[in-house]
Amino acid sequence: MSERNVELHRRHIQAFNARDIEALIAYSDSNVELYSTFAVVGGAVYHGYEGLRQWLRDTEEVWRDKIRVEPGAYFDFGERTLLFNVLAGRGRSSGVEVAMPVAHVARWRDDLGVYYKSFAHRNDALRDLGVCEDELEPIAP
């Protein structure tokens, strides 16, 4: 188990909530892949540092600065981590408040994120990791 990777995942979420793109980049490999279900209609895949910048711009275009990740529990799978959380915010165009349960999977190598993926459904994240919910040992946010 790698508590270090859980801590990196925490810092990544904190950087997102602060809209600190430089911190997000500092925690990520230059060849990072980010799979977003939420940033744009139809989802998108973002690559590298410029991809992270574009992802944050796309997210802000849809949500303004009114979106935040509220961590629930982290799970440690060595080089991979899982976070169950609530994505809370207000739509830029609609002004509608939302709070939706989501899951994030991250993969780490040499203390840097190489893969981030958001899932609208917890079971999809578990399938991505190849684990069952019974196997989870939560780590407090």
pLDDT per residue over 5-22, tens digit each? Answer: 999 999 999 999 999 999
The tally of CA atoms less than 13 A away on the side-chain side of residue 23 is 13
- 95-103 contacts at long range (C-beta below 8 A, 24 or more positions apart): 101/72, 102/37, 102/38
| Domains of the chain: residue spans and CATH | 3-130 (3.10.450.50)
In this prediction, residue 62 carries a pLDDT of: 76
- State the Cα–Cα distance between residues 10 and 76, nearest whole angstrom: 12
Interatomic CA distance for residues 125 and 103, integer angstroms: 6
* pLDDT one-digit tens code per residue, 48-71: 999 999 988 888 887 776 789 999
pLDDT for residue 1: 47
Two structure tokens written together for 95: 């002004």
Query: Which of 27, 110, 17 has the alpha carbon at shortest distance from 67?
Result: 17
Q: Would you give per-residue pLDDT tens digits along the chain (141 residues)? A: 468 999 999 999 999 999 999 999 999 999 999 998 764 445 689 999 999 999 888 888 877 767 899 999 999 999 999 999 998 888 777 777 888 899 999 999 999 999 999 998 999 999 999 999 998 999 988
